[in-house]
Amino acid sequence: MTELQLLGPRAHGEPCGTAVLKAVAEDFQVDEVLEIPLSGQGEHLWLWVEKRGLNTEEAARRLARAAGVSQRNISYAGLKDRQALTRQWFSLHLPGKSDPDLSAAASDSLSILKTVRHSRKLQRGAHSANGFTLRLTNLHGDREALEQRLQSIREQGVPNYYGLQRFGWQGGNVVDARAFAERKELPEQRNTRSRLLSAARSYLFNRLLARRVAASTWNAALVGDLLAFTTSRSFFMAGEAETSDPRLAILDLHPTGPLWGEGPSPAASAPHEQEQAVAEEEPALADWLVSAGMAHERRILRLPITGLTWHYPEPEILQLQFVLPAGCFATAVVRELVDLLPAGQTETPCEF
């Protein structure tokens, strides 16, 4: 499957050039934003961990082994990229135990930066946002066009597509999900089941968002839309008055799209018709998600970019800093700027 099939059209026009992302782990840095005051006491040991070239699940296994506890006793808020330099929280459940020696977990790829006790474990999805520092290297394109595009992205946001990493190599997760859906079966292994259901839901959401981008309505409220604030999971119906709500213009309020599951979509009018059209294009996947017991949820169609700044450390390097809500993809921002080349591949430089 191609990128266009898995994501959809760009909202801001053709890319302004080409670049490489993740030539080294330090080119993609992520800091988890967790707004939970930690008490300093309790049976849960929270760890602020920096990892490089290591995925979250493997980091959890290393920490559990070093602490001498089952992996069931370790928790984290969200999954972070392997090919990156990331900092995130983990918690260890240690009832009646003192702080363990975790030195065996330390390596060039994992460092424990801070430890603190708390009364509760870290829940999945507890973080409110992620801060990103991205370095685009081997950058070739029009500097003026890049500046204008960055200004537009800061003012208008970008489509909130799920990133390619959600779908596996060449969309393999979607292909596998379709095969199970057509057989009306679910994978027996829990991890595989979760991965394929997530890929199917994300793919259908991207298909709906692609329709809205093509129609230039991804960042506008239509009558019948379900609107949500950036960090809220609740939503409300848009009537004529709500389509002009001033909070839409300041990127605080957004139209949403469906995460398929049980129950009819609460959307109405044209938005509901668009959702139905997507379900009719992929009936096996839509029915499969319902039969799997997934709950119908909503996701904002527009991704606001908080605190976006940029500079050029060198002529062919563009460094970006910004914050995104939890569960959103930094690659959705980069995609509206440049085409990404594989690490090691470059193009003939263009004059800036």
**Residues noted as catalytic:** 81
- Would you say 335 and 10 are in contact if contact means Cβ atoms under 8 Å apart? yes
Is 330 in a helix, a strand, or coil? helix
Q: What would you report as the CA-atom Rg of the chain, rounded to the nearest whole angstrom?
A: 21
Q: Please state whether 307 falls in left (phi above 0), alpha (psi between -120 and 50) or beta.
A: left
Is 176 in a helix, a strand, or coil? helix
Is 173 in a helix, a strand, or coil? helix
Residue with structure tokens 């690659």?
A: 331
Cβ neighbours for 123, distance < 8 A, ≥ 6 positions apart: 75, 77
- Element housing 172 (H / E): helix 172-183
How far is Cα 112 from Cα 93, in angstroms, rounded to an integer? 17
How far is Cα 23 from Cα 295, in angstroms, rounded to an integer? 39
DSSP 6-35: HS---SS-S-SEEEEE-SSGGGEEEEEE--
How far is Cα 304 from Cα 247, in angstroms, rounded to an integer? 12
Q: How many CB atoms lie within 10 A of CB 4?
A: 10
Phi and psi for 315 in degrees, rounded to 5? -55, -30
